[in-house]
Each structure stands twice: as C-alpha cells, then as structure tokens.
Amino acid sequence: MTVVVRFAPSPTGYLHIGGVRTALFNWLFARHHQGKFLIRIEDTDRSRSTPEAVEAIFDSLSWLGLNGDEDPVFQFERAPRHAEVARQLLAEGKAYHCYCSPEELDLMREEARAKSLPPRYDGRWRDRDPSQAPAGVAPVIRFKAPLTGETVIHDHVQGTVKLDNSQLDDMVLLRADGTPTYMLSVVVDDHDMGITHIIRGDDHLTNAFRQWHLYQACGWAVPEFAHIPLIHGPDGAKLSKRHGALGAEHYRDMGFLPEAMRNYLLRLGWGHGDEEIISTEQAIGWFSLSAIGRSPARFDMVKLTHLNAHYLKASDNQRLVDLLKPLLEAKGYVVDALSEERLLGGMPGLKERAKTLLELADSCLFYFKVQPSDEKAGTFQTAENARYIQSLVEKVETLEDFTPEAIEQTIRAAAVDLGIKLGDLAQALRVALTGRTISPSLFEVISILGKDETLNRLRLFC
Ligand code: GLU
C-alpha cells in the first residue's frame, strides 16, 4: 500500500506553529514510506476563509520545505461532489430529510440543557414518513447514526479509544441551502484523495468517531488515524499568542532558519532516544507514529533559539549572505561586490556568535562602515587611545603581508613597544574599526577589511 497523507488547514487565520508541526509529521511520514504528501485547503467557511490566509499558508509551507507532492485541493470547489454523496446516502436509506425549524432545534437544545444533557438532535425526523413534510420548507439531510453499540478506533498515538454510540446524534450532512457540512466534506475528500493515514491534532479525535461511521455507510475503507497532542506553552496552558503561538512567517521574520524550525517542531512531541540535533535526512529515516508522545508538548523559545544558533553555524556561508541581503537592504545597506566579498570572508567569525539571522544582520554591519558607537564603545574614544592607534597606523602602512597571522604579530609587537597590554590595544582598535566593543576576531576583521579600509578607519579615529 502506498502511503498517502494530507495536511488540511482551514485558511481562517495564520498558519500557527501547531499546524506547522502537523504538516511536518505528515510530510515526514510520507517521505519515510516513499508515499505522497497532499495539501487540502479547507475553505468551506466562506465568511472566515481569506485569500491572504491561503497565500500565507503556502508561503509558510514553502519556506519550511513542506510543499505538497501534487496540486492542492480546494475543498469548496468540491461541494457538488460532497452533495452527491449525501444524496446517495439518502437514496440508500442511510440518511434522511429533516424539516426541523431553527426554533424547534433551539427548543431541543434548551430542553437538553435543562436536563444537563449535551445538546443533541433527538432524531424526530429519522423514521417519520416523508409525506408529513411541511410544505415550503427546504429540508437538511441528516446521517442515520447507530443508536446502540460502541465505536472503537485504534489510533496510532492515542491507542484504542472507544465511544458509546448513544453519544452520537444524527449529524447534518447537507444544509437546507444544499451546502455540505464540514464532517461530510472531510470524509469525502479524504476518500477521494486516497488518504491512507490521517495525522492531525487531537482536537479532532471526537470527529473521528462520526467520520468512522460515514466511511462505513459509504462502503469505504476507513483510513488509519493518528491524533497528535496539541502544543502547550511553557506554563502548561494551551499554546496561545502570549506564548509565542505566532504564524510561521513570524518565525521567519524573527530570523529563524527553516531547518531549525523543522528540528525543533519534530522534537516537540516526537523523540528518537536522546537525540536533539536531528537532520531532515535522519528525521525521514527515523520517523514513526509510534514514537509520538501522548502528552502535550511544551513550546520553549529558548530551545528553538539554541537550535537555530546551531544551524546558523552549520550553514553554508554564501547561503547566509544571500539570506542577509534583503535584511541589510531593509536597513539601507547596499550589498555590492566588495561588501559581499567581505561578508563572505567574515561569515565564519560572524555566524559563530549569532543566534538568529537578525542578530547576524546586526553584527555584520561594521563590514559596511564603522557603526555609531554606543555608550560602552564611546569610553574608548580617548586621546590616549588615539595616540596608540596613530602609532599602529605607521606600522600597518608598511605591512605587506595582510594575513590574520601577520596582522596579529604586528599588533602584538605594537603593544609591546607601547608598553600596554595587548587586550587594551585590541579593544581600542576594535572600537576604531567597528564602532563596537564586540566583534569577531580582530585579526580576521582587519584582514578582511584590507589595508586601505583599515587605514582609513584608523586615521579617522586619531
Ligand atoms: N481543517 C481542520 C483544521 O484546520 C483539519 C481537519 C482535519 O485534519 O481533518 O483544524
């Protein structure tokens, strides 16, 4: 059997981090089994679905490298097919017309509430003769749910879960205006798309029981289920905006790398021994539904940031320069051939120190020009330091070999000649060259800036 899975977001808002993890688990499961990963946009709620949200979902998935293997399915477009299935079930006596008015349904709900029962449809049109239908009322189509017995689902994450069928009421499949309900659309689409495994948040577990019966009634094989626990905040409460439950694109804007996000979200609720750093290739090789934890995972920004720092260090230098370009341009810096060369040369030193791309974009600015000094750097702008730098200018002017090693020797010798500590000279030099008190190795920075630029900056300081 070829595995076919799907990610089925509703485009009613941003794609939040829990949704991304669901997509990732589905994608990994498909890759692991050399199966297919499909995307279905569940846009049937016309008042809440927006093209912007659809766009944001595709943007986020493509940033994370979780593209579908086929063109996406848009659920709303398939409404005629969903209605056809409802009418087929009606013709087979597995569904029926219900003519209840909204007032009657309200009353039913109120009565149930008064008896402390869950609000449920009482099945009053289930066995009524259609000849009793009130004139001029468009009926809904309801599903004939079983009245007795229990429904058992063997879920890959939740284990065996059961529901007493008395809990199931006769749900609406097709509304009076002919539009299908969510429950019907999901089942028909999953069947028509050939979905073999449904991996989704455990907030859909109760739907699975109803869906199970719909599959049976249609004579279709029921897919396997894996309902994954939701993500909670570090305080154990359900993840909300307050915890950083932002849209995936916000994490990109905060300077996280897609591979760091993937690694982090994978570990959030799935494990392989004690492994923390897991490459995408390893994840594909190791992924299994049985290793998904049953308790809610806690979102931890510190861990995500830590992983991001790891992946920044491991990143190819040219890729990082390319990722930085738009960030730098937004800050008003033009990345021309010369600055690109400097950034590339300086990247090994820069990426060692940054935790996010934003930090990296900030820390590399001195390669363009000396940065305005902050309070700390300002304290190094003394007459004494200017004198030290002046004496260094004379040494640099005659320096032919501009390798970090030769530069180091020159600066060490200068400190000895001046009778000051290397650290004191280096700090003055750092401020003169970068405007900051923190930078990658000074010898490396000087070598990358080159003789002319180094001298220009040093002279400006004196
Ligand atoms: N559209 C649903 C959601 O966004 C998912 C439905 C499903 O996976 O079956 O929560």
* One-character DSSP codes across 98-114: E---HHHHHHHHHHHHH
Q: What pLDDT, in 10s, does the model give residues 76-117?
A: 999 999 999 999 999 999 999 999 999 999 999 999 899 988
Distance 203 CA to ligand 1 centre (A): 9
Q: Tell me the CA–centroid distance for residue 208 and ligand 1, in Å.
A: 11
**Nearest protein Cα to ligand 1, atom 4:** 9
Distance 200 CA to ligand 1 centre (A): 7
What is the spatial distance between Cα 267 and Cα 261, in angstroms, rounded to a whole number? 10
Check if 87 has its Cβ closer than 6 Å to any atom of ligand 1. Answer: no
Q: Is the distance from the beta carbon of residue 11 to the nearest atom of ligand 1 less than 6 Å?
A: no
Atom of ligand 1 nearest to the CA of 7: 8
> Does 241 belong to an annotated binding site?
yes
- What value does the mean pLDDT of the chain take? 95
Q: Is 16 close to ligand 1, i.e. is its CB under 6 Å away?
A: no
Index of the ligand 1 atom closest to the CA of residue 19? 4
Give yes or no for residue 204 CB within 6 A of ligand 1.
yes
* Rounded distance between C-alpha atoms, residue 372 and residue 432, angstroms: 11
Whether residue 8 has its Cβ less than 6 Å from ligand 1: yes
CB distance 436 to ligand 1 below 6 Å: no
Residue 10 C-alpha to ligand 1 middle, in angstroms?
Answer: 6
Beta strands at 140-143 and 172-174: parallel, antiparallel or unpaired? antiparallel
Confidence of residue 233 (pLDDT cuts 50, 70, 90): confident
What percent of the chain lies above the pLDDT cut of 90?
88
Compute the distance between CA of residue 249 and CA of residue 60 in angstroms, rounded to an integer.
6
- Residue 379 Cα to ligand 1 midpoint, Å, equals 58
Taking the C-alpha atoms of residue 236 and residue 331, their distance in angstroms, rounded to an integer, is 38
CB contact at 8 A, 444 and 346: yes
Residue that has been written with the tokens 């990722």 in this structure: 323
In sequence order, the β-bridge partners of residue 164 are 150
Does residue 242 have a pLDDT over 80?
no
Question: How sure is the predictor about 245, in pLDDT bands with cuts at 50, 70 and 90?
Answer: low
Which residues carry out catalysis?
Answer: 241
Q: C-alpha angle with apex 25: 261 to 303, nearest 5 degrees? A: 30
Nearest atom (ligand 1) to Cα of 42: 1
Half-sphere exposure of 240 (CA within 13 A, CB side): 5
The CA 8 to ligand 1 mean position distance, Å, reads: 5
What pLDDT was estimated at residue 1?
A: 84
Candidates 107, 101, 111, 187; CA nearest to 143 is 187
**Nearest residue (CA) to ligand 1, atom 6:** 8
Cβ count near 83 (within 10 Å): 20
Whether 186 is in the pocket of ligand 1, judged by its Cβ within 6 Å, is: yes
pLDDT digits (tens, 9 = 90+) for 407-427: 999 999 999 999 999 999 999
Secondary structure of residue 38 in the 3-state scheme = strand
Is 42's C-beta closer than 6 angstroms to any atom of ligand 1? yes
Model pTM score: 0.93
What is the reported pLDDT for 303? 95
> Residue by residue, what is the 3-state secondary structure of 169-219?
CCCEEECCCCCECHHHHHHHHHHHCCCCEEEEEHHHHHHHHHHHHHHHHHC
Question: Of 40, 42, 202, 206, which is best to mutate to test ligand 1, by the most ligand atoms within 8 angstroms of its C-beta?
Answer: 42
188-218 pLDDT, tens per residue? 999 999 999 999 999 999 999 999 999 999 9
Question: In ligand 1, which atom is closest to the CA atom of 22?
Answer: 8
What is the structure's pLDDT at 241? 67
pLDDT at 120 over 70: yes
Distance of CA 331 to the CA centre of its chain: 26
DSSP tag of 290: G
Contact (CB, 8 A) for 173 and 143: yes
Q: What is the pLDDT of residue 375?
A: 87
Per-residue pLDDT band at 239 (split at 50, 70, 90) = confident
Query: How confident is the model at residue 14, as a pLDDT?
Result: 83
Q: Report the pLDDT averaged over residues 34-45.
A: 96
Mean pLDDT confidence for 307-316: 98
Instruction: Report the pLDDT averaged over residues 284-295.
Output: 96
